[in-house]
Structure 1
């Protein structure tokens, strides 16, 4: 799991530049349309999340700004 959430709603992330921590209330979950994944931005980079991690972060108080993406290509399986 990329993120760990303490009882006081502090979120700990492992990033390529080392560990980062933020209060959940300061985090915004976004959708990266190129990767079709949820992420949070930390120090100019993105930490990609599983849906279970997104659920945990929103319960802890992170803002959910994800977008539902639709397939528009005719050869899409969706």
Structure 2
């Protein structure tokens, strides 16, 4: 999956095709089960890297991510 940003327009290229959205219309969420950032587009969850999430927020996307806290005793966090 790739994210491309041009003039506050986001292009999400997936195996199923390309989704195009204005960055201010995109909300980045945290999928706690996978511990990854994602965006929901047309009922599809598109997973993105943290670098892509940061770039989207700079371009105007809504940052709805939340920090996950490790609860396992072996965690380095």
TM-score with structure 2 length normalisation? 0.90
Rounded Cα–Cα distance in structure 2 between residues aligned with 1:75 and 1:58:
32
Which residue of 2 is the match for residue 40 of structure 1?
39
- Per the alignment, in what secondary structure is the counterpart of residue 41 of structure 1? strand
Rounded Cα–Cα distance in structure 2 between residues aligned with 1:19 and 1:63:
20
Report the CA distance between 1:26 and its aligned residue. Answer: 0.2
Structure 1 spans left out of the alignment, 5+ residues: none
Which residue of 2 is the match for residue 30 of structure 1?
29
Rounded Cα–Cα distance in structure 2 between residues aligned with 1:27 and 1:75:
35
Report the CA distance between 1:43 and its aligned residue. Answer: 1.1
How do residues 43-54 of structure 1 correspond to structure 2 at under 5 angstroms? 43-54=42-53
Rounded Cα–Cα distance in structure 2 between residues aligned with 1:75 and 1:59:
35
Structure 2 spans left out of the alignment, 5+ residues: none
- Per the alignment, in what secondary structure is the counterpart of residue 20 of structure 1? strand
